Amino acid sequence: MTTSKASPTPPLTNGASSGPLQPGQLNNTLQVINVGLPRTGTTSVGAALSILLNGPVVDGGALAWMGSAYQQRLLLEVIRPCPLRTVVDRTFAVYSLARLTEGCVAATDVPFCYFVEELLQLYPRATVVCTRRERESWWQSYKNLWWRIDDLAALGWVSPTLRRFLDIQYGFLFRRTPQAVGITEAEVEVVDGNRDSLYDAHEEYVRRVVPEGQLHFVDVRDGWKPLCDILNLPVPDIDFPRENTRQRMDPFQVVVKRRFIIRGVLLVSVGLGACGGLVYLLRRALGGYARKLW
């Protein structure tokens, strides 16, 4: 684990104190922002923070994929003003982020890793954690994630839920990421030549916008201790969460794709049946009209 040189800043307690949290104490304001890139262990850290801080954690990636229509629309509201060019754009984005994070103790994954300044405007004393992963391992997992997304893109017409998911993913990738980390749209494309530019630009962005002493880098392979040291909390007597692994995602992808394909086939079948019925009725009507003329 690597941390910044300054001593850890204790998280807020219900937004009113800079003192350390007590185990089991209920919290309802954002204590921690995990600004790590997707596929760096953000889901596992989110689950761990929910246990440590005894409250709900908003996982943007999970909301995009499995959230309700309302939650997906909240994410789309964050994207709407991007790229942020005016004070109004920025204010709207901050307002949308406030709605997403309200009542949560921590935030993790996209979009939060690309709205660090805006989140710190809302929660200036929150502890900022950045999950890290060996970059080649991260890149292979990140590419695999986008392969899955691209694979589902052709089915977006089948389901409003899937269409919103795709709009969220592509919206954040092309409308927010370049502006946030200072690279071009071509450099956010998921191609092998862009691995280092995206990884390094994101870390430079995080270091630039987070005040010294407020930022801490962690690796999920190190388990509970780094997080507990940063937050000044005891290590729980349970295993560290291991979420969102490739072994779990692969069969899930197959099931989801099959479900949307079946739905698409049913929609096409219903559409063809309706067209066939309409043709039949038109033929009957025209046939009766022709007989009358005869």
Q: Which of 95-99, 110-114, 142-146, 266-270 has the lowest mean pLDDT?
A: 266-270
Domain ranges of the chain: 32-244, 256-294
Nearest 5 degrees, angle CA 143-CA 175-CA 76? 95
Q: What is the mean pLDDT of residues 186-201?
A: 95
Report the number of secondary-structure helices (H) and strands (E) in the chain: 12, 5
pTM (predicted TM-score): 0.78
Please determine, for residue 246, whether its predicted confidence score (pLDDT) is greater than 90.
no
pLDDT given at position 14: 34
26-85: per-residue pLDDT in tens? 456 899 999 999 999 999 999 999 999 999 999 999 999 989 999 999 999 999 999 999
**Residue linked to tokens 């710190």:** 120
User: b/e map of 5-32 (b: 16 or more CB within 10 Å)?
Assistant: eeeebbbbbeeeeeeebeeeeebebbbb
- DSSP helix/strand/coil, 11: coil
End-to-end CA distance of the chain: 91
* pLDDT tier, 273 (very low <50, low <70, confident <90, very high otherwise): low
Is the pLDDT at 126 greater than 90? The verdict is yes
Q: Pairing between strand 32-34 and 127-132? A: parallel
For 254-259, what is the mean pLDDT? 56
Cα dist from 68 to 160, 200, 227, 256, whole Å? 11, 33, 30, 16
Mean pLDDT of 253-282: 57
> What mean pLDDT value characterizes the chain?
83
Which phi and psi (to 5°) does residue 32 adopt? -135, 140
- Report the CATH fold assignment for 32-244: Rossmann fold (3.40.50)
The per-residue pLDDT for 266 is 57
